[in-house]
Amino acid sequence: MFKIGEFSELTNISPRMLRHYDKLNLLKPVISHKENGYRYYKPEQINQANQILSLKNIGVPLKDIKVLLANEINQTDYLIKHRKKIETELAEKKLQLAYLDRLEEKNTASISKAVNYPIEIKTINDRLVLSYRQKIESYYHEEQLWQKLFSEIRPQDLANLGPSIAVFHGTDAEIIDIEVMIGIPDKLKPTYPRATMYSIGLVASVVMTGAYSTIPNVHADMLEWLKLNEYILNGNIFNIYHSSPATQEQEELYITEVCYPIKIKADQ
């Protein structure tokens, strides 16, 4: 038999932790005297203590160690799942370090480039839209497309419209091919027979405020994010204008959601 101090030295488990394991019914002494607090362990329990330490060292919670040592669940299956959990956490930490590198780089750059845009993955449901598409010479001419589109909408329907969307077709810098869309309630489909369903699906999005001049920084962040997360573009980039010059005079009140349709690279 070993007293708690002796057992502690043999197993490298502190007396405090041995008492804690006793309370958890994880590693109980063979003999325990309540009147003087003496605890005694037998030599065979050293192996049990080693098993506890081995599992604890790989991050297994004490509550799970208790179940594993009692053979209430399959240890092989548990360890396979635990490995996958660690690998996932490690990948997330590596990704966070990559983001940290990017943020530190930006902090050494100019103030205008120092903003770090949080990117969200979400699914956008299909929606009924009325659209108008045209090639323009400059992004400054996008307003003309919106004027054309809204000229088709009855004044009494304006309050019931969904968000405004601008879809950018192609990547040719010399040809700007834009399709502007406005959400139409299903009940108004008979009024606007030209309305069609716009299918979107999985997107990576950034909601930004302020002037449109900062949008190139958003695109730079998004492209880096796609690369780091092993996503690829799965459609045309589009903007959702939650607040725009049509509703706000001050550009600092503009709210723009930049969206990239995506899919995992392995799915291509």
Cβ neighbors of 13 (< 8 A, separation 6 or more) are: 7, 21, 49, 52, 53
Q: Which residue has the tokens 């909601």?
A: 207
Task: Decide if pLDDT at 101 tops 90.
Answer: no
**Exposed, middle or buried: residue 162 (CB in 10 Å: 0-12, 13-18, 19+)?**
middle
Across the chain, the runs of DSSP E, i.e. the strands, are 2-3, 31-32, 39-41, 120-124, 127-136, 164-169, 176-183, 196-198, 201-209, 231-233, 238-243, 255-264
For the domain covering 120-267, report its CATH number: 3.20.80.10
Quickly state the pLDDT bin for 113 (edges 50, 70, 90): very low
**pLDDT the model gives residue 188:** 93
**pLDDT the model gives residue 170:** 75
d(CA 216, CA 225): 14
Kindly report the average pLDDT of the chain as a whole number: 86
User: Do 176 and 136 contact (CB within 8 A), yes or no?
Assistant: yes
Quickly state the pLDDT bin for 115 (edges 50, 70, 90): very low
Class of the domain covering 2-69: mainly alpha
pLDDT digits (tens, 9 = 90+) for 178-235: 999 999 999 999 999 999 999 989 999 888 888 888 888 888 888 888 888 888 999 9
Range from 144-148, 157-161, 171-175, 198-202 carrying the lowest mean pLDDT = 171-175
